[in-house]
Structure 1
Amino acid sequence: MKTTLKVLITGTTAAAAIAFAGAASAEKIKIGITQNNVGVDSYQTTYEKAFKAAAAADPNVDVVVLDAGGDVARQIAQIQDLTQQKVQAIIIWPTNGKAVVPAVRKAHEAGIPVVITNSNIAKEGMPYIAAFSGPNNIEQGKEAADMMCKALNNKGDIVQIAGKPGYTTAIEREKGFEDELAKACPEVKIMDTQPGDWNREKSQRVMEDFLVKYPKIDGVYAADDNMGVGALNAAKAAGRAKDIKFIGATNFAVGYEAMAKGEYYGSVYQSPVDDAENALKTAIDVVEGKKVPKMNYFKTPEITQENMKQFTKPVF
């Protein structure tokens, strides 16, 4: 009896892996995924583990798991390889939502449905995808802005640590936050915005510069908790953390722990397990011809010191 084959690779080409996967039953759905950068943070690491586990649990699916390592050219090559090998669906976590559009268009023209996961593709790529699976990052930005308004009682001066420039999630969270802040509490002013590139150490350095530049900072919005805790660490080292409200997104374990200590005001709860499982299910449903929403969001509620006991501590 032949066991179900699960192919897991991280190289620049999928060709050998897919050829190997061909040994599995012809009835199996073959799905390829190219991820953004698995090693950059614990969210992406947990996502990959959850994706592999979900695929392994489904006897009707074979998967090729690739990682672009944050390299746009590498991801484009992976998409091209998956297209040439005629997998039945391609899942893409874009390294850059605009740069991947031509490769996505070619996959679409080859009759291969594309599901974008976690961070959306640029607007011009939307006609070529079957669905987006992930969080609503505009809404997450709005939720963070509403928390900031409440934390500062609708008045104060803040700084913003954005994600990686050009990355759709970073663009959308920044837009959602800024638009809602201007609408909900216009007396809360953003003094400065700098990218933290989803990196805690870089965000700590960004915050150190902010602390030197601005003698009064009432709040910090970071586009994820990894960066938010980096900012918190800088403020603690400078002896100014108690005067600042910290709000993030994608609640990491370190953010949850800082909330429990009363050092971190709030975040947006987002599970990488839900993210991964939703992406795989969306791709399978598309291949099977089921009706799938074009924007297939999963829920990402606000989490603060007040309601955090309703949520389990993140595993990432």
Structure 2
Amino acid sequence: MTPTKITLAATTALVTAGLAGAAAAQEYTIGITQNNVGVDSYQTTYEQAFIEAAEANENVEVVVLDAGGDVARQIAQVEDLIQQEVDAIIIWPTNGEAVIPAVRKASQADIPVIVTNSNIAEPGFDFVASFSGPDNITQGARSAEIMCDRFTELGIQDEAQIVQISGQPGYTTAIERAQGFEDRLPEVCPNVTLMETQPGDWNREKSQQVMEAFLVKYDDIDGVYAGDDNMGVGALNAARAAGRSEDIVFVGATNFAVGYEAMGEGDYWGSIYQSPVDDAEAALQTALDVLNGEDVPFLNYFDTPKITQDNMDEFEKPVF
């Protein structure tokens, strides 16, 4: 299987034109292998933003790959980028554990690896130059605070029962957001009961099916925490169809446009504001900083604030 490769922006013409005007500038070739571009609008927008950021830098050539959610394909893509002798590799891991051997190979080939959006598992940290993305544990914790604050406003903080729809199993972002939520909720609302967690795989339709099963199983659901708004709106759609949405507090993370719209309609309470454009631009810049020998923190986080119906007017509608 040969990975699809996109070398951007009429690469030769772009780079040559740039170097003609700045002969002393360092030219870099950077490869990126993404998780699954077609699975949701966040990843689609991320790829577009990454390409635009690369096109804007006349001294950067990039090879853009998509693993399509397939771990084996992503490992093959990393190995292909190593064979191409790119200057740096950016990886959005399909699975934080499974990609470690491939990342190790890149490190052994003296190619710096930047992990983007979702970190690899800790045993692979020695082979990574930097992680660029959101602090997903903090995101989960902030979502727990949003939910607890809302329950307190409603006076049900000592009796509320909730369910959780998590992301793709084995995926670091899913694990960390669930961990952050589950660790923080008992600290702020110790009497809230988390009845069950099921994966929604970042997919709206699957999350709707998960929520339909929850609604059949549990007569009393006061809140739903979803690992992103795509899944959260899937859960909301199930509750709407069952006539139970008005009785449930929906809280997500990564505020999608559909989540923002549902908040505006009064059906979805809150989320965490995260921009795929910021995410993509930060990944490319982190790679360039590493290649230029700058001092880059290992965990290079960008901020992701809370957004609820109360303060959503302070934020622009997400572009994804």
| TM-score normalised over the length of structure 1 | 0.93
**Corresponding position of 1:290:** 294
Which region of structure 1 is more displaced relative to structure 2, 78-87 or 171-180? Answer: 78-87
| 1:13–1:78 Cα contact (<8 Å) kept | no
**Corresponding position of 1:144:** 143
Indicate the percent of aligned positions where both proteins have the same amino acid.
67
Taking the TM superposition and a 5 Å limit, the aligned residue runs for 1:3-14 are 12=3
Question: Hey, what's the Cα distance between the residues in 2 that align with 1:227 and 1:72?
Answer: 22
2:91 maps to amino acid: I
**Corresponding position of 1:71:** 70
1:164-185 per-position Cα deviation (integer Å, ceiling 9, x unaligned): 0000000000000000012111
Q: Deviation of residue 152 (structure 1)?
A: 1.1
**Corresponding position of 1:56:** 55
Whether 2:218 is the aligned partner of 1:223: answer no
Question: Hey, what's the Cα distance between the residues in 1 that align with 2:178 and 2:68?
Answer: 24
Q: Deviation of residue 47 (structure 1)?
A: 0.2
Q: Deviation of residue 305 (structure 1)?
A: 0.4
**Corresponding position of 2:120:** 121
Q: Deviation of residue 22 (structure 1)?
A: 7.5
**Corresponding position of 2:23:** none
- Aligned to 1:152, the other structure's residue is in SS state helix
**Corresponding position of 1:208:** 212
**Corresponding position of 2:267:** 263
| TM-score normalised over the length of structure 2 | 0.92
Question: Hey, what's the Cα distance between the residues in 1 that align with 2:205 and 2:255?
Answer: 17
Question: Hey, what's the Cα distance between the residues in 2 that align with 1:57 and 1:310?
Answer: 29
Q: Deviation of residue 28 (structure 1)?
A: 1.4
1:48 maps to amino acid: E
Unaligned runs of 5+ in 1: 1-9
1:125-170 per-position Cα deviation (integer Å, ceiling 9, x unaligned): 0010000000000000000000111111133100000000000000
Unaligned runs of 5+ in 2: 20-25
Whether 2:250 is the aligned partner of 1:246: answer yes
**Corresponding position of 1:187:** 191
Question: Hey, what's the Cα distance between the residues in 2 that align with 1:253 and 1:80?
Answer: 36
1:261 maps to amino acid: E
**Corresponding position of 1:101:** 100
Whether 2:111 is the aligned partner of 1:112: answer yes
- Aligned to 2:304, the other structure's residue is in SS state coil
2:3 maps to amino acid: T
| 1:13–1:81 Cα contact (<8 Å) kept | no
Aligned length: 305
**Corresponding position of 1:314:** 318
1:301 maps to amino acid: P
- Aligned to 1:116, the other structure's residue is in SS state strand
| 2:7–2:64 Cα contact (<8 Å) kept | no
Whether 2:177 is the aligned partner of 1:177: answer no
Question: Hey, what's the Cα distance between the residues in 2 that align with 1:224 and 1:263?
Answer: 16
1:33-91 per-position Cα deviation (integer Å, ceiling 9, x unaligned): 00000000000000000000000000010000000000000000000011121111000
Over aligned residue pairs, what C-alpha RMSD do you find? 1.7
| 1:94–1:121 Cα contact (<8 Å) kept | yes
